[in-house]
Every structure is written in C-alpha cells, then in structure tokens.
C-alpha cells in the first residue's frame, strides 16, 4: 500500500524549474495527499512558482518575513508539520529544502514513526541529509527527465565520480549481508546502503539503477540467478575473489 505523504516545500530554498520532476519522484514513494509550499508571495523572486502551483495542485502558504534576516518560512513549515503529524492523516513526510534548519524537524518526525524523505540541492548540509530516511538530490531529477532532454539542447550531465570511500561503503555492506561464499542479494544491498547513507543513489554517479553502477566497479562481480517464480532473474553481488597465489605459482 502506498504511503500517504505530506509534501512541504521551502519556496525560498528550491528552484521552481524542478517541480514536475520532483513530483514524479515523490510519486515513486507514496501518494502525496498534502502538498504545500511556503514563502512570501509578495516577493518578486517567488513569481516563477505561481505558474506551476495550479498545474501540480500545490497549495501556497503565505508567510510574511516579519524580521529582516530571519527566515519565517522555516517556522511556518515546522508548525504545519507538527500539526499534520498530530492529525494522524499521513504515514510520512517529504521535506523539500536545502536548509539545515529542518534537521531537527526530520529527526522529530522519525522519532514519531514517520518515514521522512528529503529533497534538496547538492549544497544541502550533511546533518539534514542524514536526519532523513532517504535524501534525493534535485539536480539528478532534472538530468533524468526525458521530456526536458527532447525539448532542450543536449546538456552535459554533471555526475559524481565514484570514490574509494563509496567503494568501501558498498564493500562493507556486501560483507554485512553476504553468505559463506560472499554473495549478497543486490536488492538487500541497495536497501542497507540507503539506511547507512540516505543520499546514496546510483543516479548521482550517472547510472539509472544500482546494477550497472556495480558492474562498472572492477572490485565487484555480478551473478544472475533464476527466480523461483521464473519471471525474472535475481541479481547477486560479491567482492571479487583473489586467486590462490600458491596454486597459481605452481608449474
């Protein structure tokens, strides 16, 4: 059953150009029954949002900046989130912002048993990222939009390079789940990676799925096995085994 999600968007911290891709991504994880965006709609910099709110059935919440230099939007979002939490109408939240001020909110919602998804730009501070169950970088959503690729000139996709730290994380996760021969079911590996590092996403490295990402790393090997149901194959992964140096040296 789909999770009922409350989508709360910090209008001051997220570019409006990503709305369609963002809502498509959220739909993968649940049904967004509440969709609200917060900001001072009298300010010119939020004018671009107005064109997409009706198309995506997002309710704008007016929040005046009462004090210069203070972000009133944060307070309004936090108060609404707690009201929604106590209403018991949703199973989870999607907090859309790159602002670390929502770190404590994400933590509090998870303490209450809510599933929390975060969406923000790559500049998002790590404390907010790790406070969520899953965190998605908004830049990769734009890169994977087929419609935008067809309607605009081809752009160079900016992706992260896989680092030694990333490989070590994957390797340790495989070891945590591996059988006596070192094989681990890739689906379980992906789930545990997400728990260990909420912003882990194969799309960050230019791959739509985890399997091709793993195949691109020479330290690992993939094995496909027949499913008991026979409709699809199960993918297993392990660290490549070193050959016995003694046996290889014998003539």
pLDDT band at 149 (very low <50, low <70, confident <90, very high): very low
Residue of 237, 246, 233, 242 lying closest to 214 (CA atoms): 237
Reported as a single tens digit per residue, the pLDDT across 9-64 is: 998 888 888 888 999 999 999 999 999 999 888 877 777 887 788 888 899 998 77
The residues of the chain that CATH labels 3.40.50.1010 are: 3-151
Superfamily in which the 164-246 domain is placed by CATH: LOTUS domain-like (3.30.420.610)
93 within 8 A of 11, measured Cβ to Cβ: no
**Considering only the top CATH level, what class is 3-151?**
alpha beta
**Which helix or strand (DSSP H or E) is residue 184 part of?**
strand 184-185
**Which helix or strand (DSSP H or E) is residue 113 part of?**
none
SS3 letters across 71-95 = CHHHHHHHHHHHHHHHHCCCCEEEE
Reported as a single tens digit per residue, the pLDDT across 34-49 is: 999 998 888 777 778 8
Residue of 189, 131, 192, 137 lying closest to 160 (CA atoms): 137
Distance between CA atoms of residues 61 and 77, nearest Å = 9
Residue 180 C-alpha from the chain's centroid: 32
DSSP state of 16: G
The residues of the chain that CATH labels 3.30.420.610 are: 164-246
The first and second tokens of residue 126, run together, are 């790590």
Distance between CA atoms of residues 114 and 90, nearest Å = 8
Reported as a single tens digit per residue, the pLDDT across 186-225 is: 999 999 999 999 999 999 999 999 999 999 999 999 999 8
């Amino acid at each position: 059953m789909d999770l009922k999600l409350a989508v709360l968007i910090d209008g001051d911290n997220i570019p409006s150009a990503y709305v369609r891709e963002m809502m498509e991504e959220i739909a993968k994880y649940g049904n967004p029954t509440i969709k609200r965006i917060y900001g001072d709609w009298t300010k010119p910099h939020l004018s671009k949002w107005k064109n997409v709110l009706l198309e995506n059935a997002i309710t704008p919440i007016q929040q005046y900046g009462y004090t210069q230099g203070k972000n009133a939007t944060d307070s309004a979002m936090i108060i609404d989130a707690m009201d929604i939490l106590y209403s018991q109408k949703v199973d989870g939240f999607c907090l859309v912002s790159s602002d670390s001020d929502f770190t404590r909110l994400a933590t509090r919602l998870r303490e209450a048993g809510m599933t929390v998804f975060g969406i923000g730009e790559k500049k998002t501070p790590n404390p907010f990222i790790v406070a969520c169950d899953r965190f998605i970088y908004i830049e990769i959503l734009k890169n994977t939009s087929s419609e935008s690729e067809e309607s605009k000139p081809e752009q160079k996709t900016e992706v992260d390079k896989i680092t030694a730290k990333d490989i070590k994380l994957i390797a340790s996760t495989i070891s945590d789940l591996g059988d006596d021969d070192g094989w681990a079911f890739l689906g379980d590996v992906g789930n545990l990676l997400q728990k260990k590092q909420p912003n882990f996403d194969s799309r960050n490295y230019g791959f739509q799925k985890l399997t091709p990402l793993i195949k691109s790393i020479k330290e690992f090997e993939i094995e496909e096995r027949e499913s008991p149901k026979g409709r699809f194959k199960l993918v297993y992964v392990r660290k490549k085994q070193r050959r016995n140096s003694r046996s290889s040296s014998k003539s």
